[in-house]
Chain A
Amino acid sequence: MLKSASGAFANVLKRSLVPAVRVSAVSVRRSHGGPVESDEEFDNRYEAYFNRKDIDGWEIRKGMNDLCGMDLVPDPKIIKAALHACRRVNDYALAVRFIEACKDKCGNKVNEIYPYIIQEIKPTLTELGIDTPEELGYDKPELALESVYHM
């Protein structure tokens, strides 16, 4: 018992004194921030996220809300994957809402980016039977909401 304990202790001591791995000439730079994800990796990560077969409504909403909180417009392939995910959980409203949110993300470049997005996702829209917000008449205010102060 004592022998094994002292042996273990010696081992620990040895390991702490002698570096186990020689520092190689080309070492990984240990700096702030860590590795930076490229745009393609980001797109692929989110596409894979939405493409998961057993994704549920909570996770879809989480992914979409996260995307809407970022300083970017989601790539059409992410949007396509998200629309398919909406189809799998049978939530039509979610799909339309996400297209609206992506349109909102275009900011003041909406006239340049949004037609491109629609053009890219058009096959998916027709395949799944999703109407764009414009086709539903949601590009302009449809209903007025009574002010809560006047109820």
Chain B
Amino acid sequence: MANYLMRRALINAIRVPVCARAGSTGNTELAKIGDREWVGYGFNGQPNYVDRPDFPLPAIRFREDTPDIKALREKEKGDWRKLTLEEKKTLYRASFCQTFAEFQAPTGEWKGVVGWALVLSSLAAWIYMAMKVFVYSPIPDSLSEERQKAQLQRMLDLKVNPIDGLASKWDYENNRWK
């Protein structure tokens, strides 16, 4: 009871008159929720609504209290077995925006993400091709196969690195690799 009184006092302390809500800067959250009932702590103590599986019960009800909803809430105080399926669903949607199945349903967004990633990668490949064709000069002659072989032969003739390198692996008596 003391708990309840303290909370009422706190809510009253931060509540501002309706006319002051509209343009006030200090209570923007309160100004935003309109006539929605503030029913709980939520996930950060602010009167906001988010459908989250780890905090399934947000601080405020999703819909504002219309006369229809109010009438239904009066009926809710009676036996729940007398509520029709439609009324039950209306009550649920008055409190919550989406069901778990709805906000956890796959959005298919991954298809667009993968698609755009592939488009951009192929764009990079096209840019590379264009650079090859229009920008870079041809690769040097010294990279051709016979030039590379000649270079290797020259290194062997010079006995490059004879202890544990290239020339050490060449058999000079039989002219082949060891």
A and B pair up: yes
Residues of A within 8 A of B162 (CB): none
Q: Would you call B100 and A100 a contact (CB within 8 A)?
A: yes
Say yes or no: is B101 at the interface (Cβ < 8 Å to chain A).
yes
Q: Would you call A92 and B76 a contact (CB within 8 A)?
A: yes
Measured in the bound complex, the distance between the Cα atoms of B81 and A97 in whole Å is 17
Q: Nearest Cβ in chain B — how far from A145, in angstroms?
A: 6
Residues of A within 8 A of B57 (CB): 61, 64-65, 94, 97-98, 101
Residues of B within 8 A of A96 (CB): 88, 92
Measured in the bound complex, the distance between the Cα atoms of B80 and A93 in whole Å is 11
Contacts of A79-108 to chain B: CB distance below 8 A: 87, 90-94, 96-98, 100-101, 103-104
Say which residue of A58, A103, A130 sits within 8 Å of B41 (CB atoms): A58
Q: Would you call B92 and A92 a contact (CB within 8 A)?
A: yes
Closest A residue to B98 using CB positions: A145
Q: Would you call B41 and A62 a contact (CB within 8 A)?
A: yes
Say yes or no: is B91 at the interface (Cβ < 8 Å to chain A).
yes
Q: Would you call B80 and A140 a contact (CB within 8 A)?
A: no
Q: Nearest Cβ in chain A — how far from B57, in angstroms?
A: 4
From A22-30, A32-40, A131-139, the one touching the partner chain is A131-139
Q: Nearest Cβ in chain A — how far from B4, in angstroms?
A: 6
Say yes or no: is B176 at the interface (Cβ < 8 Å to chain A).
no
Q: Nearest Cβ in chain B — how far from A8, in angstroms?
A: 36
Tally of chain B residues near chain A (CB < 8 A): 37
Closest A residue to B106 using CB positions: A141
Residues of A within 8 A of B43 (CB): 65
Q: Nearest Cβ in chain A — how far from B158, in angstroms?
A: 68
Say which residue of A57, A101, A103, A140 sits within 8 Å of B39 (CB atoms): A57
Q: Nearest Cβ in chain B — how far from A76, in angstroms?
A: 18
Q: Nearest Cβ in chain A — how far from B9, in angstroms?
A: 14
Say which residue of A57, A104, A138 sits within 8 Å of B53 (CB atoms): A104
Q: Would you call A142 and B102 a contact (CB within 8 A)?
A: yes
Say which residue of A57, A92, A98, A137 sits within 8 Å of B40 (CB atoms): A57
Say yes or no: is B83 at the interface (Cβ < 8 Å to chain A).
yes
Say yes or no: is A10 at the interface (Cβ < 8 Å to chain B).
no
Q: Would you call B85 and A136 a contact (CB within 8 A)?
A: yes
Q: Would you call A100 and B98 a contact (CB within 8 A)?
A: no
Residues of B within 8 A of A19 (CB): none
Residues of A within 8 A of B1 (CB): 54
Residues in B lying within 8 Å of A, measured CB to CB: 1, 4, 7, 39-41, 43, 53-57, 73, 76-77, 79-83, 85, 88-89, 91-92, 94-105
Q: List 5 A-B contacts (CB under 8 A).
A: A68-B55, A96-B92, A97-B56, A104-B104, A138-B100
Q: A94-B57, A141-B99, A141-B101 are in contact. List 7 more A-B contacts (CB 8 A).
A: A69-B54, A96-B88, A96-B92, A101-B100, A103-B100, A128-B80, A143-B102
